[in-house]
Chains A and B, each alone.
Chain A
Amino acid sequence: MKRFLVSGGILAFSVLVLFPLTALCAARAELQNPVFDAGEIPQGQDLVHEFLLKNAGDEPLVFKARPC
């Protein structure tokens, strides 16, 4: 019975305290404008744009970009 109570206590502690803490400590990618429309541009002119990706979280943001 005692062992059961200890196990239950550890489980409850993990769920109630550790899990929310883990969820709070995460990277959070913030992107204000994921779509950019350059409008009309003459053929030959390079289409250049910088997207700003901000990490609003409290863990390092790791990302990998690839064309699709």
Chain B
Amino acid sequence: MKISTRSYTSQVLKHIRVETNDPEAGLVTLTLKAQIVEILKVTPRLVNFGKMLQNQTSVRELLCENQGKDPVRILSVEAKPPALLSLGEQEPFVLNPGQSRKIAMKLSSGSSEGYVHGYVMLKTDLEFLPEKVVRVRADVKKQQGIGQ
């Protein structure tokens, strides 16, 4: 059995049901569990700017925390699409154990109406987690449509 733990932040608990032709055992249940240690914690995991007017900008912050026992090197921070999303900081940095850092991100809603999506990608030197992605979204409304 193989389970990817990329999307887990606490406990993994999986059961597999095995049906057999053994008249006594019949059904066997296999259980696989583990406690996931989120070394680099980035919050929020999803950034929802909510309802925004057209051609408006809004700023939110991401908090990056090193919950591990060794330094974590953030090799790059990238926001896409760059026309919508920009970052206050893009330079590499190191987070020592217990250290945290805030990264500001600015969303420009643009002139189109509807949902806009983007993401921030942090590339790390962590062996098992070379990149961490935070999804970003907003609902862009017409100027005159708000408050009516």
Interface residues of A (CB under 8 A from B): 23, 26-29, 31, 34-51, 53, 57, 59, 61-68
Contact = CB atoms under 8 A, between A and B. Distances in A.
A23 B23 contact: yes
B61 to A, nearest CB: 22
Given A36-B31, A43-B39, A63 B18 contact: yes
A34 B30 contact: yes
B57 to A, nearest CB: 33
Given A28-B24, A29-B28, A48 B19 contact: no
B6 A47 contact: no
Instruction: Determine the interface band of chain B, counting residues with CB < 8 A from chain A.
Output: 35 or more
B22 A61 contact: yes
Given A27-B22, A28-B22, A61-B21, A47 B15 contact: no
B33 A65 contact: no
B38 interface: yes
B37 A42 contact: yes
B39 A42 contact: yes
A67 to B, nearest CB: 6
Contact of B129 (A43, A61, A62, A64): A43
Contacts of A47: 1-5, 12, 32, 34
Contacts of A53: 18, 28
Contact of A46 (B2, B17, B21, B37): B2
Given A38-B32, A38-B33, A68-B15, A44 B21 contact: no
A44 B33 contact: no
Contact of A67 (B4, B6, B15): B15
B146 interface: no
A67 B3 CA distance: 12
